[in-house]
């Protein structure tokens, strides 16, 4: 039964030695009766599983050797019961205590009947916050032109009944969320952006890891849509802003480094695809 503020949600979090950030994520999840918390873990040896047990999460183990983001999500979604399932990264900390209720309210009051999924902003720092609220609906034409909504499976809500028709592609090394969105849009559904459901992305990965992810993410986008290509000037401006924000304490150096590395990966991959004739412009 729906709660007064909206339907129950299943929250699926993928983990691997993420105790440092998972504790912050769980602290911001105000669960209600009927909600389910599912942790899909691929072999944590730190305090991750203790945190999950303390939060009364259902822990679903998977083999790290066969891990893909798509496979981990499929396993978590298969274990869920509610029709709305939120894919949330263990590195993305909600910025508001009513984070889950923002999605519930959007489902109940703001979604068009054909909404298949919804996303909330994933921010590199609180300085990136722009829109205070509201919901935007995206159709296929919006998406095909590269007018994206800046988020994906680190913070994305799905209608489980539609996922059952089309599970995530487990063979993809990245972009399984984008692949699913395009399938849903081609079926005549829409994707909603819930602007107030913001999360702060916290990760301690290396510069090289973020750079490689930037290349993978752009390559995945270019396979399906015509993404906006980053420019050298734009990259320099972003780098200068990030360094300034870090110096002022408005973001940490890890976040600034990761955001810059990801943008550099986007830029280098766009140049490589354009040179190979696989990207217009």
Q: Is 281 among the domain residues? A: no
Domain shared by 94 and 165, yes or no: yes
Q: What is the per-residue pLDDT for 56?
A: 96
CA dihedral over 76, 78, 79, 82, signed as positive or negative:
positive
Three-class SS of 227-251: CCCCCHHHHHHHHHHHHHHHHCCCC
pLDDT digits (tens, 9 = 90+) for 203-216: 767 788 778 878 87
Q: Is 4 among the domain residues? A: no
3 has a pLDDT exceeding 60: no
How crowded is residue 201: how many other Cβ atoms within 10 Å of its Cβ?
A: 22
Domain shared by 214 and 107, yes or no: no
Domain with residue 99: its CATH number is 3.90.550.10
CA dihedral over 148, 154, 155, 161, signed as positive or negative:
positive
What percentage of the chain carries pLDDT values higher than 70?
91
Range of the domain at 241: 207-275
- Using a cut of 0.95, tell me whether the model's pTM lies above it: no
Domain shared by 19 and 93, yes or no: yes
Domain shared by 39 and 102, yes or no: yes
- Domain boundary, last residue among 201, 227, 259: 201
Domain shared by 23 and 155, yes or no: yes
pLDDT digits (tens, 9 = 90+) for 218-267: 777 777 767 777 889 988 888 888 888 778 776 777 777 878 887 898 88
4 has a pLDDT exceeding 70: no
Domain shared by 166 and 235, yes or no: no
- Domain boundary, last residue among 201, 223, 244: 201
Q: How far apart are CA 44 and CA 61, in angstroms?
A: 9
Looking at the structure of the chain, the number of domains it has is 2
Domain shared by 155 and 69, yes or no: yes
Name the average pLDDT for the chain.
87
**Of 46-50, 125-129, 183-187, 198-202, the least confident:** 125-129
């Amino acid at each position: 039964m729906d709660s007064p503020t909206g339907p129950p949600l299943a929250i699926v979090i993928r983990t691997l030695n993420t105790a440092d950030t998972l504790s912050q994520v769980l602290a911001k999840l105000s669960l209600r009766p009927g909600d389910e918390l599912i942790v899909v873990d691929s072999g944590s040896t730190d305090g991750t599983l203790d945190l999950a047990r303390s939060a009364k999460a259902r822990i679903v183990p998977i083999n790290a050797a066969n891990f893909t983001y798509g496979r981990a999500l499929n396993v978590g979604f298969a274990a869920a019961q509610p029709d709305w399932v939120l894919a949330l990264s263990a590195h993305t900390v909600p910025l508001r205590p009513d984070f889950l209720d923002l999605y519930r309210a959007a489902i109940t009051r703001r979604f068009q009947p054909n909404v298949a999924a919804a996303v909330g902003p994933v921010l590199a720092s609180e300085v990136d916050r722009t829109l205070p609220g509201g919901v935007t609906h995206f159709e296929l034409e919006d998406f095909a032109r590269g007018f994206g909504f800046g988020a994906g499976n680190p913070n994305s809500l799905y209608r489980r009944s539609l996922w059952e028709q089309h599970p995530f592609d487990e063979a993809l090394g990245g972009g399984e969320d984008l692949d699913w969105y395009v399938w849903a849009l081609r079926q005549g559904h829409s994707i909603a952006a819930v602007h107030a459901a913001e999360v702060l992305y916290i990760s301690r990965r290396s510069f090289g890891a973020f750079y490689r992810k930037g290349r993978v993410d752009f390559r995945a986008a270019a396979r399906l849509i015509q993404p906006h290509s980053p420019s050298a000037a734009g990259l320099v401006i972003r780098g200068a802003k990030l360094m300034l924000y870090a110096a002022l304490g408005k973001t940490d150096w890890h976040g600034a480094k990761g955001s810059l590395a990801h943008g550099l990966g986007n830029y280098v991959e766009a140049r490589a695809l354009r040179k190979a004739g696989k990207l217009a412009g």
